[in-house]
Amino acid sequence: MTNASPQPASAKALLPLALFLVLFLGTGLYFQSEGVEYAFYQLPSPVAILPAIVLGILLSKQAFEERIETFVGGVGDNNIITMCLIYLLAGAFSTVAEATGGVDAMVALGLNIIPPSFLLPGLFIIAGVISTAMGTSMGTLAALAPVVLGIGEATDISLPLLAGVLVSGAMFGDNLSIISDTTIAATRTQGCTMRDKFRANLKIAIPAAIFTVIWLITYDTSQVPLEIPEANLWLSLPYFAIIVLAVMGLNVFAVLGLGIVLAAAFGMFTVGYEWVTFSQDIYEGFGSMQEIFLLSLLIGGLSALIRQQGGLAFLAAFVESAANKVSKHKQRASAIGVAALTALTNFCVANNTVSILLAGEVSKRLAKVGNLAPRQSASLLDIFACVVQGALPYGAQALLMGASFKISPLSVSLHTGYCFILAAVAIAIIIWRRPLEDREPTPASA
């Protein structure tokens, strides 16, 4: 990062960020009004941010060469580069494991275990496990939608309810997964280990999941016939391996590297997976992360410009002041500020990872001021981004399920019970949690 001294707090410095949000949100609303599918994904986010970067450079009072140096320094920040490398490995693992039949194995394993009377809670748990293992809610929904749609068409179970259960489970897993781009972004921006963030998340996500299961048990599905797809269940082991290794605290680069090798090895021994295909799938996995990879780099540069011009200092002070009006307790106020900022940002951009990247640095400042542990600010970032993302009728998850089930995306959103329960549990914990004792921040680690 450049050593240029930041200017005093300034609201004007936030204009580039506002421009990005207006372009992204405005384009999405336009295409939504035109009835275009995936309206908020028609304008690629790395393109939408380019005018904002130009404006940020123009607003700077530095010499032109220094402005470019500030931007490039932000792009090359250690946390940004580390984050991008993890994205590439996560994409490679997900693609290789799916290509070898791991997703089918996970689905078959889950359906073999759950009885018909436990169908809805079982589907929630299956979606949660698969999403935790794959690190992607969208990949989970794409894999499970055809199976669950068949169940819905063969029974009288409400399709919006089935779709909402799948989105609920997918967001539960996306929030917890150590290879999810939301987890990667949250831990790197807050400077904590993935294991610590995972443990902090569990304290909120598990109670919310239990309440969700209790709610879903009230539906009688005992007479529902289940058709279990054929799959080699051994192919699910690489997914469980990376979860165990991550929880044990192994470095995330080692976890993902071993996961890729294990997925390929199981595929080679069981389904004749070939070396040439393996190399192609790794590259395809890299490509699947192209958008978030580029956006992370560009947001890093834009954030550096906004920080140097005093924009982030102004935003942090504004959010802190607003949160303090809600609660006089500094730690609680910081937690409220992180949660509200993330939720509002995700409401605007309809992308949980983008919202974390945008809110990350200000959230870190808020956490430091309020003595909120990095693992807790990272957990709140991820939780409230996933809460809003799962409940948005114009989010990718609701749009995908709406298109797959041929139902309204709004009806999907209204049935994502876990997201609403998770928000309620998180807010309750923020309000009633006892203050932490002063402690050293958790050291940053991959």
Render pLDDT for 197-232 as a digit per residue (tens, 0 to 9).
988 999 999 999 999 999 999 887 666 666 666 777
Lowest mean pLDDT among 7-16, 45-54, 182-191: 7-16
**How far apart, in whole angstroms, are the C-alpha atoms of residue 24 and residue 396?**
14
Q: Which residue has the higher pLDDT, 155 or 280?
A: 280
The domain in which residue 230 lies consists of 72-298
Tell me: do 291 and 377 sit in the same domain: no
- Do both 294 and 320 map to the same domain? no
Domain boundary among 265, 298, 331: 298
Q: Are residues 268 and 327 in the same domain?
A: no
Residue after which a domain boundary falls, among 298, 332, 367: 298
- Report pLDDT for 349: 62
Q: Which residue has the higher pLDDT, 235 or 168?
A: 168
Sequence-distant (≥ 6) Cβ neighbours of residue 336 within 8 angstroms = 323, 326, 327, 430
pLDDT above 50: residue 441: no
pLDDT of 127 over the 80 cut: yes
Domain boundary among 247, 266, 298: 298
Q: Is the pLDDT of residue 249 over 70?
A: no
Say if CB 406 and CB 338 are below 8 A apart.
Answer: no
Burial per residue of 381-396, b for 16 or more beta-carbon CB atoms within 10 angstroms, e otherwise: bbbbbbbbbbbbbbbb
pLDDT category, 443, cuts 50, 70, 90? Answer: very low
- Average pLDDT rounded to a whole number, residues 421-440: 75
Alpha helices in 60-193 (DSSP H): 64-75, 78-99, 102-113, 119-134, 137-154, 159-176, 181-190
Same domain, 424 and 346: yes
* Residue 171 belongs to some domain of the structure: yes
CA distance 386 to 95: 23
Task: Reply yes or no on whether the pLDDT at 281 is more than 90.
Answer: yes
Instruction: Examine the domain organization and report whether 258 and 331 are in the same domain.
Output: no
In a domain, 45, yes or no: no
User: Same domain, yes or no, for 94 and 210?
Assistant: yes
Q: Which of 121, 152, 308 is nearest to 218 (CA)?
A: 121
Three-state DSSP class for 101? coil
Q: Within this chain, do residues 236 and 140 fall inside the same structural domain, yes or no? A: yes
Question: Structural domain tally of the chain?
Answer: 2
Q: Do 193 and 239 sit in the same domain of this protein?
A: yes
Do residues 317 and 250 both lie within one domain? no
Task: Report whether pLDDT(233) > 70.
Answer: yes
Q: What is the pLDDT of residue 400?
A: 73
Clarify whether residues 163 and 269 are in a common domain. Answer: yes
Q: Is 414 contained in some domain?
A: yes
Average pLDDT score, the chain: 82
DSSP sequence for 365-392: HHHHHTT--HHHHHHHHHHHHHHHHHH-
| Least confidently predicted of 41-55, 258-272, 351-365, 397-411 | 397-411
- Between CA 102 and CA 96 the distance in angstroms is 9
Residue 254 lies in a domain: yes
SS3 257: helix
Q: What percent of the chain has pLDDT over 70?
A: 87
Highest mean pLDDT among 77-86, 97-106, 223-232, 348-357: 97-106
pLDDT, mean of residues 49-72? 93
253 band by pLDDT with thresholds 50, 70 and 90: confident
More confident site: 313 or 424: 424
Q: Helices (DSSP H) in 252-310: which residue ranges?
A: 252-270, 275-288, 290-308
Asked if the structure places residue 3 within a domain, the reply is no
Record the tokens describing residue 321, joined without a space: 């002041």
Does the pLDDT at position 444 exceed 60? no
Based on the fold, state whether residues 258 and 322 are members of the same structural domain. Answer: no
Q: Looking at the structure, do residues 316 and 368 belong to the same domain, yes or no?
A: yes
d(CA 7, CA 10): 8
Q: 371: burial class by Cβ within 10 Å (0-12, 13-18, 19+)?
A: middle
The reported pLDDT for the residue numbered 445 is 41
Kindly state the tokens that stand for 178: 């150590």
Q: Is residue 66 part of a domain?
A: no
Q: Report yes or no on 441 lying in a domain.
A: no
Question: Per-residue pLDDT averaged across 181-186, rounded?
Answer: 87
Altogether, the residues listed in the chain come to a count of 446
In a domain, 8, yes or no: no
